[in-house]
Chains A and B, each alone.
Chain A
């Protein structure tokens, strides 16, 4: 019965070839360091899921942001866990991305034919940092407010367009409700879209080209 359904579906979806291409492909013998990439993907999925759950309760206005975060932490069922996973997941994301990148540099994996994979990877690192920076403001507590005040101020040092950058980031000369709305929008719409598009390409290339083998002493 099971195989009949599988056959019926395969005739229509062609899933077997996809399954073979992705899951049954051959991989050179590699060590545990090569799990860093998929670990990063796992944490990214964790961030997406917990992030979506957080937006169900979070309100991105200065009047309510802090209260809603308190509510999530103290009142919502398992809210502490969702927020905790998202908070620590952010740090894990940075750590894993950087370790993954160091592994790639150390083993020379960015070389032919995987240059494009590397380029998308660097963009993904910048996106992860952007997530960290925008997400920091959202709880609207003292740390969030002042670190963002200083952080945006630092960006304004850029020669020539510094002041413009500051105004764009803050949505005005001062940190305000506009800044919070802006950071929220970037954190939940702009960066996730970019992350999905780029990590899609990244994964496609990883599967298509295959992950590199451990280089021998002569390679």
Chain B
């Protein structure tokens, strides 16, 4: 626009103004009419639709699908077209360019022309932007998950298409070593990914993990095994078994009558690895649970180098460097070492002996053993891992890596235990063992709210928690705990407590009462109510949150009427709600009866019939024993006859005489030779009792 055009414009505008009207009242009247209409519209919307308010924010509910306000929908939709690395284009580049375009509009378009027909470019670009925004918004509203592209008869691909494809597209690539099982199980707050553990079974999650981590293996499975096998029956079976089946081909017993080719001729080594990676996803936690926990429990204490651990696991039973110390040491020295590794109050001499003899291999690591006799036995005989399979020959390298890195991580879990200890000594008196709160001992009228709820923990950062613990909350009767404020705990201890409290986040021990609606016309029995509703918090045996319902003290101190009242009116200090709103008096009476029966400790229920080998006993053996014995032999649990007659020290069972049966002794820890079984620790009492009863009944094959 040059000077003349400017002058012309101003002159023309002056004329237009002279021909025009006054702001007041002409224009102001129009404005007032429009404003009034808008106000009426807003008031009508407020009256008829109201302002929506959903459930209170629940940071632990990852099932919620976030949806922004409608005027951000187009941006949200735009993101879907720019996945992964390209995200930055949708989020930053395009919106920034749009804003810059808007801002610079008067600079870009400096011609004197004002009528739209003379400015096709500006009108065009604006229209494209406007229509684009409207289109994206509409698209976002109506967009439904893309149709599943599942191959027929391919349940895993269908599972993926149904559950994952709507967000992740046709396929996800994840970095190596991703603990996929855990991610799928727990979901991810950040990405808005729901926790699938509620909707999918463990096997399905395993199958999905294998599908994502080894797509090639999935194809191979479909073309080679899918005709006979369903994936779900094979995923997460023992890798030893899978490997054997793959290596033996037609020699493999279960395949012997079929026309099965030798796999090593049909499949390349690489393909066999892919297949194994698909069937047993390289997922440390699951691998540990399937393969190691039968002997090693929840985790192994390990502080050495990662490479060393890797060679240890891959060598397995070949790792026999540890000498049988009984040949070299006196009985007293063996006692001292065992004491050192199995108890915390060992003397300085014990420690000295350990550092002399053991630390050259074990380093500063003390192999944790809870049982003195077991420890002594281990040290005396040496060869700590002679019963351990040679995992290096069984697992693929991906699987081995995953297992090693999990074991490394898991062995660092000790601060948690320390934190729990400090918490129970210092905090549990007021906050309860699970941080569930209760009556404030400092002020009887006051109730302490739960500190272990997801909401509490989410809304306070570590620093805040630290301040609260260190300085106390004098207004609420909480004294300072930090040593800087005259309390008993130093900074490290407070941080350990916080670590422990954070462990609640993954699995909150206190939940707000679940939303429950019972259809009015369904008349549930007391047992059904207890199993579906009560046991959500109290556990089926009554040992969950709140008092232990089967505890004799609880039973003695509460009359039927008191228990009835608590159920019907709820408990003001806890998340126990007043059930009388949901249940009838009659149903609550039934519940009281059920609670009374919990005290009977199942001794009546357990003896309802003689234990059956096929239904009760063998499943226990299969779960806890065959993982090692199936491979390494020694003892065979297939049939009752084998249970009795096989084993290095057969007979393992003397029918009718549980006390003198070696099997029973090993399960009770009263054995005369060897260690207890299973090596990770004794079975639960009721499980042992089933097996003892079966032996006492003459070890029948029933």
Show the binding face of A for B, using Cβ within 8 Å. 22-30, 32, 34-36, 38-39, 42-43, 46, 62-63, 66, 69-70, 73, 80-81, 83-92, 94, 96, 101-102, 105-113, 115, 118-119, 122, 125-126, 129, 132-133, 136, 139-147, 149-151, 153-155, 157-159, 172, 174-178, 210, 212-213, 215-219
Residues of the A chain whose Cβ atoms lie less than 8 Å from the Cβ of B9: 112
Complexed CA–CA distance, A219 and B112 (Å): 7
Chain A nearest CB: distance from B282 CB in Å? 29
Complexed CA–CA distance, A112 and B1 (Å): 8
Q: A88-B45, A102-B130, A219-B114 are in contact. Are A110 and B57 (CB under 8 A)?
A: no
Interface code B108-131, partner A: CB below 8 Å = 1, 0 otherwise? 011011111101001100100010
Are B114's CB and A158's CB within 8 A?
no
Interface code B442-456, partner A: CB below 8 Å = 1, 0 otherwise? 000000000000010
Complexed CA–CA distance, A108 and B114 (Å): 5
Q: Which of B68, B99, B455, B461 contacts A151 (CB 8 A)?
A: B68
Q: A73-B53, A105-B122 are in contact. Are A39 and B38 (CB under 8 A)?
A: yes
Q: A27-B23, A29-B20, A158-B88 are in contact. Are A139 and B71 (CB under 8 A)?
A: no
Q: Which of A62, A83, A147 contacts B68 (CB 8 A)?
A: A147
Interface code B72-99, partner A: CB below 8 Å = 1, 0 otherwise? 1001000100000001100110000001
Q: Which of B17, B99, B122 contacts A210 (CB 8 A)?
A: B17
Chain A nearest CB: distance from B352 CB in Å? 46
Complexed CA–CA distance, A178 and B463 (Å): 12
Provide a sorted-by-A list of 22 A–B residue pairs whose CB atoms are within 8 angstroms. Answer: A23-B23, A26-B20, A43-B42, A62-B455, A85-B42, A85-B43, A88-B42, A88-B51, A91-B71, A105-B105, A110-B106, A126-B99, A129-B71, A140-B57, A142-B61, A149-B192, A153-B190, A155-B91, A172-B461, A176-B458, A176-B460, A216-B115
Residues of the A chain whose Cβ atoms lie less than 8 Å from the Cβ of B41: 88, 92
Q: Which of B22, B50, B79, B191 contacts A26 (CB 8 A)?
A: B22
Are B34's CB and A28's CB within 8 A?
no
Are B458's CB and A92's CB within 8 A?
no
Interface code B39-62, partner A: CB below 8 Å = 1, 0 otherwise? 101110111011111111111010
Complexed CA–CA distance, A167 and B176 (Å): 28
Are A83's CB and B51's CB within 8 A?
yes
Residues of the A chain whose Cβ atoms lie less than 8 Å from the Cβ of B1: 111-112
Are A174's CB and B53's CB within 8 A?
no
Residues of the B chain whose Cβ atoms lie less than 8 Å from the Cβ of A86: 51
> Is residue B520 contacting chain A, with contact meaning CB distance below 8 A?
no
Residues of the A chain whose Cβ atoms lie less than 8 Å from the Cβ of B192: 146, 149-150
Residues of the B chain whose Cβ atoms lie less than 8 Å from the Cβ of A27: 17, 20-23, 26-27
Show the binding face of B for A, using Cβ within 8 Å. 1, 6, 9-10, 12-13, 16-24, 26-28, 30-31, 33-35, 38-39, 41-43, 45-47, 49-59, 61, 64-72, 75, 79, 87-88, 91-92, 99, 102-103, 105-107, 109-110, 112-117, 119, 122-123, 126, 130, 189-192, 455, 458-461
Residues of the B chain whose Cβ atoms lie less than 8 Å from the Cβ of A36: 34
Are A132's CB and B71's CB within 8 A?
yes
Are B123's CB and A106's CB within 8 A?
yes
Are A42's CB and B66's CB within 8 A?
no
The 4 closest A-B pairs by CB, nearest first: A84-B46, A145-B57, A146-B66, A87-B51
Complexed CA–CA distance, A67 and B102 (Å): 41
Chain A nearest CB: distance from B63 CB in Å? 10
Are A32's CB and B30's CB within 8 A?
yes
Chain A nearest CB: distance from B195 CB in Å? 14
Are B72's CB and A132's CB within 8 A?
yes
Q: Among B20, B33, B58, find the residue whose CB has the most chain A CB atoms closer than 10 A.
A: B20
Are B22's CB and A25's CB within 8 A?
yes
Chain B nearest CB: distance from A38 CB in Å? 4
Are B115's CB and A219's CB within 8 A?
yes
A109 (CB) vs chain B CBs: closest residue: B114
Q: Which of A28, A147, A150, A212 contacts B19 (CB 8 A)?
A: A28
Chain A nearest CB: distance from B592 CB in Å? 35
Are A62's CB and B17's CB within 8 A?
no
Complexed CA–CA distance, A166 and B30 (Å): 45
List 12 extra interface pairs beyond A108-B113, A219-B112, CB under 8 A: A27-B26, A84-B49, A101-B102, A105-B105, A106-B123, A141-B57, A142-B54, A143-B67, A146-B64, A146-B192, A149-B192, A158-B88
Are A28's CB and B106's CB within 8 A?
no
A81 (CB) vs chain B CBs: closest residue: B46
Are A35's CB and B19's CB within 8 A?
no
Residues of the A chain whose Cβ atoms lie less than 8 Å from the Cβ of B122: 105, 108
Q: A107-B116, A139-B53 are in contact. Are A92 and B69 (CB under 8 A)?
A: no
Complexed CA–CA distance, A177 and B116 (Å): 50
Are B46's CB and A46's CB within 8 A?
no
Residues of the B chain whose Cβ atoms lie less than 8 Å from the Cβ of A107: 114, 116
Complexed CA–CA distance, A42 and B190 (Å): 39
Are B461's CB and A22's CB within 8 A?
no
Q: Among A108, A151, A216, find the residue whose CB has the most chain B CB atoms closer than 10 A.
A: A108
Complexed CA–CA distance, A84 and B42 (Å): 8
Residues of the A chain whose Cβ atoms lie less than 8 Å from the Cβ of B110: 111
Complexed CA–CA distance, A136 and B468 (Å): 30
Q: Which of A42, A145, A151 contacts B72 (CB 8 A)?
A: A151
Chain B nearest CB: distance from A40 CB in Å? 10
Are A176's CB and B18's CB within 8 A?
no
Complexed CA–CA distance, A215 and B35 (Å): 25
Residues of the A chain whose Cβ atoms lie less than 8 Å from the Cβ of B66: 143, 146-147, 149-150
Complexed CA–CA distance, A159 and B130 (Å): 27
Are B53's CB and A119's CB within 8 A?
no
Q: A84-B45, A159-B92, A175-B59 are in contact. Are A39 and B34 (CB under 8 A)?
A: yes
Are B115's CB and A217's CB within 8 A?
yes
Chain A nearest CB: distance from B115 CB in Å? 5
Are B459's CB and A176's CB within 8 A?
yes
Complexed CA–CA distance, A34 and B112 (Å): 21
Residues of the B chain whose Cβ atoms lie less than 8 Å from the Cβ of A139: 53
A108 (CB) vs chain B CBs: closest residue: B114
Complexed CA–CA distance, A148 and B262 (Å): 57
Are A177's CB and B28's CB within 8 A?
no
Are B106's CB and A111's CB within 8 A?
yes
Residues of the A chain whose Cβ atoms lie less than 8 Å from the Cβ of B21: 26-27, 29
Residues of the B chain whose Cβ atoms lie less than 8 Å from the Cβ of A146: 57, 64-66, 192
Complexed CA–CA distance, A81 and B40 (Å): 12
Q: A27-B17, A210-B13 are in contact. Are A219 and B113 (CB under 8 A)?
A: yes
Q: Among B51, B70, B87, B117, find the residue whose CB has the most chain A CB atoms closer than 10 A.
A: B51
Q: Which of B6, B45, B68, B102 contacts A150 (CB 8 A)?
A: B68
Residues of the A chain whose Cβ atoms lie less than 8 Å from the Cβ of B72: 132-133, 151
Chain B nearest CB: distance from A172 CB in Å? 5
Q: Which of A39, A88, A155 contacts B35 (CB 8 A)?
A: A39
Q: Which of B38, B69, B114 contacts A215 (CB 8 A)?
A: B114
Are A102's CB and B53's CB within 8 A?
no
Are B459's CB and A42's CB within 8 A?
no
B18 (CB) vs chain A CBs: closest residue: A26
Q: A24-B23, A83-B51, A172-B461 are in contact. Are A213 and B88 (CB under 8 A)?
A: no
Are B22's CB and A24's CB within 8 A?
yes
Residues of the B chain whose Cβ atoms lie less than 8 Å from the Cβ of A109: 114
Q: Which of A24, A43, A90, A153 contacts B24 (CB 8 A)?
A: A24
Are B51's CB and A118's CB within 8 A?
no
Q: Which of B20, B46, B49, B102 contacts A122 (CB 8 A)?
A: B102
Are A122's CB and B189's CB within 8 A?
no
Are B190's CB and A32's CB within 8 A?
no
Complexed CA–CA distance, A136 and B24 (Å): 38
Q: A39-B35, A102-B130, A142-B58 are in contact. Are A84 and B64 (CB under 8 A)?
A: no
Are B461's CB and A102's CB within 8 A?
no
Q: Among B71, B112, B460, find the residue whose CB has the most chain A CB atoms closer than 10 A.
A: B71
Chain A nearest CB: distance from B98 CB in Å? 11
Residues of the A chain whose Cβ atoms lie less than 8 Å from the Cβ of B460: 176-177
Residues of the A chain whose Cβ atoms lie less than 8 Å from the Cβ of B68: 136, 147, 150-151
Are B31's CB and A35's CB within 8 A?
yes
Chain B nearest CB: distance from A169 CB in Å? 14
